[in-house]
Structure 1
Amino acid sequence: MEYKKNIYTVEDCVAKITMNYPDNLNAIDMAMAEELLDILDKCENDSNVKVVILESGGKAFSAGGDIGYFYKNIKAGGDINMDDLIERAGYVSLNIKKMSKIVITSVIGAAAGAGANLALSGDFVVCADNVKFIQAFINLGLVPDTGGSYLLSKSIGIAKAFELCATGKPLGAVEAMELGIVNKVCSKDELEETTMALARQISKGPLIAYKNLKKQFFEANYTDYERYLKDGEVPTQRECISSEDFKEGVCAFIEKRKADFKGE
């Protein structure tokens, strides 16, 4: 596969996946999701890869969905069906959890919507102090996808996870670390070296133990993740996308005004 939205490199047993579509703030569209799935598969099957870094090539990690695309379709009177995209984006997160190699997400700037949940899928999350994690779905009349409700409930508990998803409140780097969903916080100038230092440490460690540690944690925490994505996430998001509230949320966002939701 030719990669148009990501850069993939391997050096000194460290694989780097760099999301590199700054024109769209690394939005998780179908092309981005398919490329990430293909690269993760390469990482899993390359014996030279001992640890994986997922990062961004811009000032933001990922803005999540392509709201401009939604807006154009709504204004053109077209239907929006995102079942395939929601499924594929969810599988990016699931594959990170299932793969045998440790994945470090290196996060800078905004990580919103699907981008936030992709960042939080890492086994280790390293972020710059300017990071804002935003479960922005609710502001568009949507529910979290890419595993957001599932991952947050597992990591920080139901009450706080529900609050973040229901309010869309931005979560800063320090608070995210205090809640236990971020491992390290540093300045944005130090992010690359801090991430690489952790990757080098892992690459020199007991890889068989790491592989089996990931198996243990998957069995302990994520065995129903795939079922959740299929039966919990896709159908609920489908209903939200078909609502008038979704159309209003998208239009309000692009038109820079407060949404007038009707519950329809």
Structure 2
Amino acid sequence: MKLNKLHYTVEDGIAVVQLDYPTNLNAIDEEMADELLYVVQAAEADESVKVVVFKGLPRAFSAGGDIGYFYQLIKAGGDVNMDGLIGKVGKVTDGLKKMSKMVIASVSGAAAGAGASLALTADFIICSENAKFIMAFVNLGLVPDTGGSYLLVKQLGPKRAMDICATGRPVSAQEAKDLGIVYRIVPNDALDEETMKFAKKLAAGPIISYKNIKRQIYAAAFAEYQHYLENIEVPCQRECARTQDFAEGVCAFMEKRRPHFTGQ
């Protein structure tokens, strides 16, 4: 598959997935979702791959969804149907959770919306001091997707997950570390070096043990994940995407003004 928004390389047992679409700060649209799904499947099938690293741009790991695309559809009078996109990103995150290899997210700058959810999917997050995690969906009148609500509840419990999802507030690198979301914070200019150092350490470790630890943890904590993605996340987002509040949230974001939500 030709990759237009990602780079995928494998060296010394480490697969590196570089999100690289600066035009919209690595927003995850259907094309990127297809590419992410492809590399997840490729890494899992490649016996030479022992560890997978996801990284973004210095300014942003990923800004989430392609709000500009939604804005164009809304202004043209069209409906926004996210079912296909949400189904694909759900397969990406479930694939990473089921993956037999360790997964590291190397986060610099903003990880917002689906980008935050993608980072949360990793087994380890190493981030720079300027990193921030934002469940920004509510600011558009949406619900977290890409598994975001499920992952936060499992990692933090329902009360803290509610705080982060319902307020859409930025979570700093230090707060994320204190909450146990982030494994390690490093200086901005040391992120790549420190991420690869840790990846190499994992790649030299007991790979079969790692594989089975992941299998145990998935069974203990994520056995209902696929059911949640298909039967809760997709219909919830479908309902929200049909509202006037969603259209207002998108327009307000693009027009750089406060949204006026009406609950319709």
**TM-score category of the 2 structures, normalised to the smaller one:** over 0.9
Number of the residue aligned with 1:14: 14
2:197 paired with 1:190: no
Task: State the alpha-carbon separation in 2 of the partners of residues 10 and 236 from structure 1.
Answer: 37
CA contact (8 A) 2:25 2:57 kept: no
Give the C-alpha shift of residue 36 in structure 1: 0.8
C-alpha distance in structure 1 between counterparts of 2:221 and 2:207, whole Å: 21
8 Å contact from structure 1 (residues 55, 107) kept in 2 = yes
Residue 7 of structure 1 deviates from its aligned partner by 0.3
Structure 2: distance between partners of 1:117 and 1:57: 16
Partner of 1:73: 73
Other structure's SS at 1:177 match: helix
Q: State the superposition RMSD in angstroms.
A: 0.7
Q: Which residue pairs with 2:107 in the alignment?
A: 107
Shift of 1:143: 0.5
Partner of residue 41, structure 1: 41
Instruction: Read off the aligned partner of 1:78 and give its amino acid letter.
Output: G
Cα shift readout 1:31-54 (whole Å, capped 9, x = no counterpart) = 101101111111111111111101
Letter aligned with residue 81 of structure 1 = N
Equivalent residues of 2:132, 2:170 under 8 A apart: yes
User: Shift of residue 187 of structure 1?
Assistant: 1.1
- Report if the CA contact (8 A) 1:93-1:146 is conserved: yes
TM value normalised by structure 1: 0.99
8 Å CA contact 2:30–2:85 kept in 1: the answer is: yes
Superposition map of 1:240-251 within 5 A: 240-251=240-251
Unaligned runs of 5+ in 2: none
Name the residue aligned to 1:141. Answer: 141
Cα drift, residue 58 of structure 1: 4.3
Segments of 5+ residues of structure 1 without an aligned counterpart are: none
Matched with 1:237 is 237
Q: Which residues in structure 2 correspond to 1:109-258 (within 5 Å)? A: 109-258=109-258
Asked whether the 8 Å contact 2:57–2:108 carries over to 1, the reply is no
Aligned-residue offset at 1:91: 1.3
Match of 1:85 in 2: 85
Q: Secondary structure of the equivalent of 1:53?
A: strand
**In 1, distance between residues paired with 2:83 and 2:28?**
13
Distance in 1 between residues matched to 2:70 and 2:36, nearest whole Å: 22
Taking structure 2 as the reference length, the TM-score comes to 0.99
SS in 1 for 2:60: coil
5 Å-filtered alignment, 1:24-35, equals: 24-35=24-35
Deviation per residue, 1:181-229 (Å, 9 max, x gap): 1101011101001101110100010000000000000000001000000
The residue identity in structure 2 corresponding to 1:258 is R
The separation in 1 between residues aligned to 2:114 and 2:10, in whole angstroms, is 26
The Cα shift of 1:57 comes to 3.7
Deviation at 1:24, TM superposition (A): 1.2
Counterparts of 2:142 and 2:104, CA distance in 1:
28
Q: Is the 8 A contact 1:51 1:101 kept in 2?
A: yes
State the aligned residue count.
264
- The amino acid of 1:168's aligned partner reads G
Task: In structure 2, give the amino acid aligned to 1:252.
Answer: A
Task: Determine what percentage of the aligned residue pairs are the same residue.
Answer: 56
Is the CA contact 1:22–1:58 (under 8 Å) kept in the aligned structure 2? no
Look up the SS of the partner of 1:120 in the other structure: helix
Q: Give secondary structure in 1 for the equivalent of 2:137.
A: helix
